[in-house]
Amino acid sequence: MNDPRPLALASSAALVLSLGACAIGTGSAAERDDSGRTVLRYQGSANAVTLPELAADLGYFHRITLKWVGNTTSGPQDIQSAATRQTDVGGAFSGAVVKLITAGAPVKAVVNYYGSDAKSFTGFYARAGSPVRGARDLIGKKVAVNTLGAHSEAVIDTYLTRNGLTPAEIKKVQLVVLPPNDTEQAVRRGQVDVGSLGGVLQDRAVAGGGLRKVFDDYGLFGTFDGGQYVLRNDFTAQHPEAAKDFVTGVGKAIEWERSTPRAQVIKRFTSIIAERGRGETTTNLKYWKSVGIPARGGVVSDRDYTQWTSWLESSGIVRKGGLQPKDLYTNEFNDLAGGGAR
């Protein structure tokens, strides 16, 4: 079997460089709404409430107005859209952020927006009767992920490497790209052997019975921040107060989720989805457990990138010893940064 991953990484980097080159130098001032606020374009997530949407609903934004332009298909797609000025902000796995910036995209990470803890994590599930129980059982098997070169791939490769598989054996584990909403059924139907599931989709699948967890990212790494929102450098240079409003608002929304009783969080999410009128379902919200972000206010740290060093180097995203975390992020727009990342 040919391994699709190196090709995917290379083609993605080439795409970013090409589109990024087109984006640079074609900037224009951000829109303003009727009250003079800066309009910040973003992509949402179907049947879910993002942190910016929650922050807006809680009244945490004073200088920006969110403008929904559609739903994202994956983290890499979301941050590429921001880099190429199709949107103003995007969020993705830390490794995807490294890849984008290393490829020359003019963006910088500004706040964490997801992570893993004992309650909220990414798990890899097989059917209850599946013979897949450990790393070696995955050789020659199909594993569903939402996209290549991102969180699930990095976790899978780390799991396989830590369990003694060679690079040649790891290549025999076939990653199959599927939309997260389709993964559960693909596992149940036997179309794939294992599927990556997180958040409410994971909890709904587990509640349905008949599935067994093979491993999860929390078991590998413990509690960690998994991905960041990025803003373009020209946007933060031209609209620093808008950038601060966005980042600090998201940080406050993280802390609101952390400190608010679960039932109230779910009630708020339900109200937001119902009021925006996108024809979505709120059924899965009852499975929400926690914000899953250990960093206070989403503050970014070197560890958010260095914990993936081995995977980044083995995947060819960075050369050995070439990871420079300080070039990837800034906390200057986060008013909650004074309290530290942990």
pLDDT digits 0-9 by tens, 293-305? 999 999 999 999 9
Low-confidence winner among 17-26, 98-107, 208-217 (lowest mean pLDDT): 17-26
Do 5-117+225-339 and 122-221 agree at the fold level?
Answer: yes
- Do 328 and 334 contact (CB within 8 A), yes or no? no
2, pLDDT greater than 60: no
Pairing of strands 211-216, 122-127: antiparallel
Radius of gyration of the chain (CA): 20
SS3 label, residue 274: helix
The β-bridge partners of 124 are 196, 215
Say which residue, 18 or 148, is predicted with more confidence. 148
The β-bridge partners of 91 are 229
**Averaged pLDDT for residues 194-215:** 94
66, pLDDT greater than 50: yes
pLDDT band at 27 (very low <50, low <70, confident <90, very high): very low
**Averaged pLDDT for residues 42-56:** 96
Q: Which CATH architecture has domain 122-221?
A: 3-Layer(aba) Sandwich (3.40)
Which residue in 103, 92, 37 sits closest to 242, CA to CA? 37
pLDDT tens, residue by residue, 225-234: 999 999 999 9
Mean pLDDT computed over every residue of the chain: 90
- Do 157 and 311 contact (CB within 8 A), yes or no? yes
H-helix or E-strand spanning residue 111: strand 107-116
**Averaged pLDDT for residues 112-124:** 95
Residue 20 in tokens: 């990024």
Residue whose token pair is 């991102």: 150
Which residue in 260, 340, 244 sits closest to 301, CA to CA? 340
281, pLDDT greater than 90: yes
Q: Is the dihedral of CA 200, 203, 204, 205 positive or negative?
A: positive
CATH of the domain spanning 5-117+225-339: 3.40.190.10
**Averaged pLDDT for residues 121-146:** 97
SS3 label, residue 121: coil
Burial of 286 (0-12, 13-18, 19+ CB in 10 A): middle
318, pLDDT greater than 90: yes
106, pLDDT greater than 70: yes
CA distance 175 to 4: 8
**CA distance from start to end of the chain:** 43
Which residue in 255, 282, 251 sits closest to 268, CA to CA? 282
Domain boundaries, the chain: 5-117+225-339, 122-221
SS3 label, residue 73: coil
**Averaged pLDDT for residues 224-247:** 97
341, pLDDT greater than 60: no
CA distance 309 to 326: 14
For 10, 55, 68, 240, 248, the CA distances from 62, given in Å and listed in that order, are 40, 10, 17, 13, 11
CA distance 300 to 219: 22
- Do 51 and 251 contact (CB within 8 A), yes or no? no
**Residues whose CB falls within 8 Å of the CB of residue 156, separated by 6 or more in sequence, listed in order:** 124, 143, 145, 173, 175, 196
Say which residue, 28 or 9, is predicted with more confidence. 28
Residue 282 in tokens: 């709120």
What's at 321, amino acid-wise? G
Alpha carbon 67 to chain centroid distance?
20
pLDDT tens, residue by residue, 156-187: 999 999 999 999 999 999 999 999 989 999 99
Q: Is the dihedral of CA 186, 187, 188, 190 positive or negative?
A: positive
